[in-house]
Amino acid sequence: MSQYRTFNADDAVAYAQQFGGLDNPSELVSAQEVGDGNLNLVFKIFDTQGVSRIIVKQALPYVRCVGESWPLTLDRARLEAQTLVEHFKHSPQHTVQILHFDPELAVMVMEDLSDHRIWRGELIANRYYPQAARQLGEYLAQTLFHTSDFYLHPHQKKAQVAQFINPEMCEITEDLFFNDPYQIHERNNYPAALEADVAALRDDAQLKLAVASLKHTFFSHAEALLHGDIHSGSIFVADGSLKAIDAEFGYVGPIGFDIGTAIGNLLLNYCGLPGHLGIRDAASAREQRLTDIQELWNTFAERFQALAVEKTRDSALSTPGYASQFLQKVWTDAVGFCGSELIRRSVGLSHVADIDTIRDDDMRHDCLRHAITLGKALIVIAPRIHSAEEFIARVRQYG
């Protein structure tokens, strides 16, 4: 049985040589640690020509961005690998391929995506990928439908819930999304200039009731195997291609959470664009983000509904009209979770480059205020927003 140890570059090369599946493993000769996330080590493995060929990813036993004072389960690596393997079964064109996984070392070997770019950086730079929103909607429809009660036998579904129980990672989500921003907490991170705005979150009883309902939904609605952290930083894009990575928050939860997180990150980009492009030049890019949101949801809903008509196995769930009714519930959840993503990324521990890299302090603060205001509104009025068109109208209403 393997014993856990933290990899260095040489370890990563040796591991890739053994498990990378190359015909000539000796071609792999060097590694570079490129992890810029909060949790893991990520090594690019290069061949003799200096071309990156394989990725080796290892979970650390603590939160990397905080340090050893915040220990974290290594089992998240198993959950990530198994989530991605399951999602790859249903959407191979939009999911990174896992080539090997060792639960004892908490390490996985996966395909290299060096010919892709992280979508968040491309959105900030205003580089447009016309297929990305629809492809993300397709990925979400395929993975969430095929891991839901619509498709799985009840015994399979219950076994899936047990396999993907992820309490430590879910606790992080529960705290960062639904607890920390609405109380005084040392993990919160925001400019002093926003103190009044953040204090207003703590004092808003109607908002906190709506957040409590969202948290309860997150706790208790085991609808499908979620990615659990599907934002523009965990998506790679290239011309004609989109692939999801980084699924260590995977668990069986409410479908609207993945949808809302994805939409929320497009809205965070919408909020931040004036700080990168200027108010006038950002106008057309912001309109494109709203179109992206509409395309994402419409693609997801249309594809999910078509799959439900074609493949639903349960006699009750196949009742005409039920899939449409269920999708309305998913949409309402998604709008609320979208709002919580806007707020937690503005005042909580983990921010996004869409706003944090804005150089002008006043503009950055204005963009953060916009995200907070929009997030509050969406959480509270989510039950009254019935379509993507109404959603976009509300976004425009709040600037």
* Res. 244: pLDDT tops 60: yes
Single out the residue in 86, 111, 136 at which a domain terminates. Answer: 111
The answer to whether residues 235 and 376 belong to one domain is: yes
Q: What is the overall mean pLDDT for the chain?
A: 96
Q: CATH no. for residue 68?
A: 3.30.200.20
Q: Of 111, 128, 157, which residue constitutes the final position of a domain? A: 111
What sign has the CA pseudo-torsion 226, 229, 232, 234? negative
106 and 136 share one domain: no
Query: Can you give the pLDDT at residue 69?
Result: 79
Q: Say how many residues make up the chain.
A: 399
Query: Same domain, yes or no, for 333 and 230?
Result: yes
Q: For the residues of 311-328, what is the DSSP string, one character each?
A: H---TTTTSTTHHHHHHH
What is the reported pLDDT for 62? 85
What pLDDT score does 127 carry? 97
Give the pLDDT confidence of 333-391 residue by residue, as tens digits: 999 999 999 999 999 999 999 999 999 999 999 999 999 999 999 999 999 999 999 99
Domain count within the chain: 2
Residues 161 and 70 reside in one and the same domain: no
Here the CATH number for the domain that contains residue 345 is: 3.90.1200.10
pLDDT, tens digit, for every residue of 278-317? 999 999 999 999 999 999 999 999 999 999 999 999 999 9
Mean pLDDT of 72-91: 96
Statement: residue 37 has pLDDT above 70: no
Q: Are 249 and 141 in contact (CB under 8 A)?
A: no
Identify whether the C-beta of residue 60 lies closer than 8 Å to the C-beta of residue 35.
no
pLDDT of residue 370: 98
Q: Say if residue 91 is in the same domain as residue 122.
A: no
pLDDT category at 1 given cuts 50, 70, 90 is very low
Provide the Cα torsion 236, 399, 272, 182; round to 10°.
-90
Last residue of a domain, one of 93, 111, 129: 111
Taking only the tens place, the pLDDT of each residue in 178-223 is 999 999 999 999 999 999 999 999 999 999 999 999 999 999 999 9
For 24, the domain range is 9-111
Are 105 and 124 in the same domain?
no
Residue 147's pLDDT is what?
98
Residue 2 has pLDDT above 70, yes or no: no
Kindly tell me if the per-residue pLDDT of 250 is higher than 60.
yes
Closest by Cα among 232, 263, 272, 228 to 247: 228
Q: Is the domain of 236 the same as that of 107? A: no
Q: CA 359 to CA 357: how far, in whole Å? A: 6
The amino acid present at 71, given as its one-letter code, is P
